[in-house]
């Protein structure tokens, strides 16, 4: 904010004195809002966002799009899609600032003052404007040749229950993520088990490459390994497909700078 902690503290104390109400709980180790302070923050915060947006619009009337665009998405979406598209785009618009945050939670972009969220198409709220930024996503079950040398390939998804499967744990799930399959337009889940579980995609793939078990991953993440024969895919006829990554935003957040970022991320290929 460009304000020293001491000056900010004095300002808040003056506001508390004016309101005759405590807004912050202070200890030697932390500061947190009181119930009144949280209510005031939730009420006032969106108005500051609106003021900031209007000031950016005033600057853009000069012909130079400017302002801060805050983006949130899953770690994979940020690494695989958002940053690779925006990094070469940055030099063209030096007055536009980007703040990019990876978070696997389902973030309320309005409440947390983000301009853009990124999620799979099926996960985007209906009251948001959604724009596709990546093709549909196909999941595959893969394992290393060394693994299949000692284990017969599964013929149907139910056979996975007899295999060493590398689990995936997400913060939005209480347990390990079930593997989903599709046949004749119907989807179903298979609960798997194994010696290993991770919450990082790179480690799941690395473990599969070393022959530690089967992995259920996005095809584009392992395409090179499949082409080189370092991994083999099974159960391809049962593979499930999901709507690809979409960005989404609320209409009230629209601005010339946001429109430029949306256009930079927009997926131009076929679904």
**For the segment 195-219, what is each residue's pLDDT rounded down to a tens digit?**
999 988 899 999 999 999 999 999 9
Per DSSP, 137 falls in state E
Query: How are beta strands 179-183 and 186-190 bridged, if at all?
Result: antiparallel
pLDDT at residue 170, rounded to an integer: 74
**pTM for this prediction:** 0.66
Instruction: Give the mean model confidence (pLDDT) for residues 183-192.
Output: 92
The answer, yes or no, to whether residue 89 has pLDDT greater than 90, is yes
DSSP-assigned letters across all residues of 201-226:
HHHHHHHHHTTS-BEEEEHHHHHHHH
pLDDT at residue 271, rounded to an integer: 45
> d(Cα 130, Cα 133) in Å, to the nearest integer?
9
User: Can you tell me whether residue 126 is helix, strand or coil?
Assistant: coil
pLDDT at residue 171, rounded to an integer: 65
The answer, yes or no, to whether residue 251 has pLDDT greater than 90, is no
User: And the tokens for 85?
Assistant: 């598209």
Which residue has 């460009």 as its token pair?
2
Which residue has 């994979």 as its token pair?
76
**Domain locations along the chain:** 1-33, 45-134+244-265, 137-242
Backbone angles phi, psi at 32, to 5 degrees: -140, 160
Q: Is there a contact between 100 and 83 (Cβ–Cβ < 8 Å)?
A: yes
Instruction: Give the mean model confidence (pLDDT) for residues 233-244.
Output: 94
Q: Which helix (H) or strand (E) holds 140?
A: strand 137-143
Q: Which helix (H) or strand (E) holds 242?
A: strand 241-242
CATH number of 45-134+244-265: 3.40.190.10
Q: Is there a contact between 229 and 143 (Cβ–Cβ < 8 Å)?
A: no
User: And the tokens for 150?
Assistant: 């000692």
Task: State the chain's mean pLDDT as an integer.
Answer: 88
Which residue has 């793939």 as its token pair?
205
**For the segment 45-82, what is each residue's pLDDT rounded down to a tens digit?**
777 777 776 776 666 556 678 889 999 998 889 998 99
More confident residue, 270 or 242: 242
The answer, yes or no, to whether residue 261 has pLDDT greater than 80, is yes
Q: Is there a contact between 245 and 120 (Cβ–Cβ < 8 Å)?
A: yes
> d(Cα 109, Cα 71) in Å, to the nearest integer?
9
> d(Cα 186, Cα 188) in Å, to the nearest integer?
7
Instruction: Give the mean model confidence (pLDDT) for residues 227-248.
Output: 95
pLDDT at residue 250, rounded to an integer: 86
Domain pair 45-134+244-265 / 137-242, same fold: yes
Q: Which helix (H) or strand (E) holds 183?
A: strand 179-183
C-alpha 261 chain-centroid distance: 17
Rg of the chain in Å (alpha carbons): 24
Q: How confident is the model at residue 105 (pLDDT cuts 50, 70, 90)?
A: confident
CB burial class (10 A; 0-12, 13-18, 19+) of residue 211?
A: middle
**For the segment 107-166, what is each residue's pLDDT rounded down to a tens digit?**
888 888 899 999 888 777 778 889 999 999 999 999 999 999 999 999 999 999 999 999
Which residue has 């690395």 as its token pair?
206
More confident residue, 163 or 3: 163
pLDDT at residue 56, rounded to an integer: 65
Q: How confident is the model at residue 1 (pLDDT cuts 50, 70, 90)?
A: low
The fold adopted by the segment(s) 137-242 is D-Maltodextrin-Binding Protein; domain 2 (3.40.190)
> d(Cα 233, Cα 255) in Å, to the nearest integer?
45
């Amino acid at each position: 904010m460009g304000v020293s902690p001491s000056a900010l503290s004095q300002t808040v104390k003056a506001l508390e004195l004016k309101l005759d109400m405590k807004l912050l709980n202070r200890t030697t180790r932390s500061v947190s809002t009181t119930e009144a302070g949280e209510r005031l923050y939730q009420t006032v915060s969106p108005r500051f966002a609106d003021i900031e947006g209007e000031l950016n619009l005033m600057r853009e009337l000069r012909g130079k799009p400017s302002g801060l665009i805050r983006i949130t998405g899953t770690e994979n979406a940020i690494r695989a899609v958002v940053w690779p598209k925006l990094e070469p785009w940055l030099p063209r618009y030096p007055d536009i600032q980007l703040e990019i945050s990876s978070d696997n939670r389902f973030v309320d972009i309005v409440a947390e003052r983000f301009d853009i969220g990124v999620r799979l198409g099926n996960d985007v709220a209906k009251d948001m404007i959604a724009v596709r930024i990546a093709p549909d996503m196909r999941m595959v079950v893969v394992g290393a040749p060394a693994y299949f040398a000692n284990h017969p390939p599964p013929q149907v998804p139910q056979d996975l229950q007899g295999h060493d499967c590398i689990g995936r744990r997400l913060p939005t799930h209480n347990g390990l993520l079930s593997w989903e399959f599709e046949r004749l337009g119907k989807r179903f889940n298979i609960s798997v088990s194994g010696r290993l579980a991770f919450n990082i995609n790179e480690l799941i793939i690395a473990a599969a490459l070393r022959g530690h078990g089967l992995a259920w991953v996005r095809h584009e993440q392992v395409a090179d390994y499949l082409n080189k024969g370092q991994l083999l895919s099974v159960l391809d006829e049962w593979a499930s497909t999901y709507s690809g990554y979409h960005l989404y935003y609320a209409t009230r957040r629209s601005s010339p700078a946001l429109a430029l970022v949306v256009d930079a991320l927009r997926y131009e290929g076929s679904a």
